[in-house]
Chain A
């Protein structure tokens, strides 16, 4: 009998390598760069498989169906196969429901992606971080001021990576943080009560720490100190990597 469904036959054949095959996985493109003559390497952040690099064959051809589909900040359904580090994209489908990021929100989106690219190890799944990333992108579209959203994402990211901030108790004890007191936040240790002289770490008020624990940045001083504290912690974990998006956002602020 002739094969009257060539597409179907192809699918059946492909299932022979089922163990190296991932089907219809929700993912976001974090970054992509040209590969060979007409292909693209896309770094994706997938829900169940974490950060994975995929080759999108022929994606840079003028009439490729993948053009315009493999866009950052859009939820996609991806299928891929392969047993080496660089896997091959088999199909991509648009999921929709997420308006394109524009203006400052777009810059913030780049910032999230730059953090994920630098801090997430490949093939390390972080399902709850993925869900939070998706929620954060939706928030970026809807709001005007993005600072609080970025702080919350940074906190979640560090927590998922195993560097959770100690915001409600003093380091090394169970004494609760008091809003009216002043503390020093020491890297890889936590908050210690401010003593008279200058010590290591960053001075931060108890109120800021409690506000950060509650994801509340409505207070201007908490927002400012929270940003400085997060920057110190992220810089430490980034180990000297410069975030280019941060520079661009700072430039833009100067123009306004």
Chain B
């Protein structure tokens, strides 16, 4: 039996999603066509609309429907702090902590030389421009993976050369963490990066 060409095309199209191989794509296509046609139409409309309307905020580089996103437009935020994160989900997490009321810059990725992701894949010129425009301290809140650390080192060197003040978020034991249950790597690094007790 020959697969109809529209179905073939749908299966091919679904494969653009990360982690979706030929089998999963086929399963999704069958499900949409057989069990959930309204859902399929809704999906196609939502995809079309999102691709057309969503762009990057010209200030923080996060996804936005307008030129400038809600966070960057919000009144009363501290413009003397600029927090750099890897992904929009990281920014959401920072917002949930409610401890940070400064501005953001979302890299939409990280440096990963072993995956071939170099500095050209990141909007670094815009970050430098934004930091200078705000004349703010830059807080590097990239992940504590080796790639995140490499990104932080690269950005710190780049920004310091431009005369920008740079800091890095701290790492160590989690709040409420017990030494007995923490992983060895975290504990080892917490001992190495210990601080003098003040006051």
Residues of A within 8 A of B (CB): 30-31, 33-34, 36-37, 65, 68-69, 71-74, 94, 96, 99-104, 106-107, 109-110, 113-114, 117, 244-245, 247-248, 251-252, 255-256
Contacts and interface: CB of A to CB of B under 8 A. Distances in A.
Given A104-B153, A106-B146, 8 more contacts: A65-B183, A69-B183, A94-B183, A94-B184, A110-B114, A114-B114, A244-B118, A251-B119
A106 B153 contact: yes
Nearest to B117: A244
B18 interface: yes
Given A69-B183, A102-B149, A248 B114 contact: no
Given A36-B19, A37-B19, A256-B157, A31 B114 contact: yes
B158 A255 contact: yes
B146 A71 contact: yes
Nearest to A245: B113
B111 interface: yes
A256 B18 CA distance: 38
Contacts, number: 78
Contacts of A255: 157-158, 160-161
A61 B160 CA distance: 36
A94 B185 contact: yes
B89 to A, nearest CB: 12
Contact of A100 (B113, B118, B189): B189
Contacts of A69: 183, 185
Contacts of B153: 102-104, 106-107, 252
A99 B158 CA distance: 25
A105 to B, nearest CB: 10
Interface string B169-183: 000000000000001
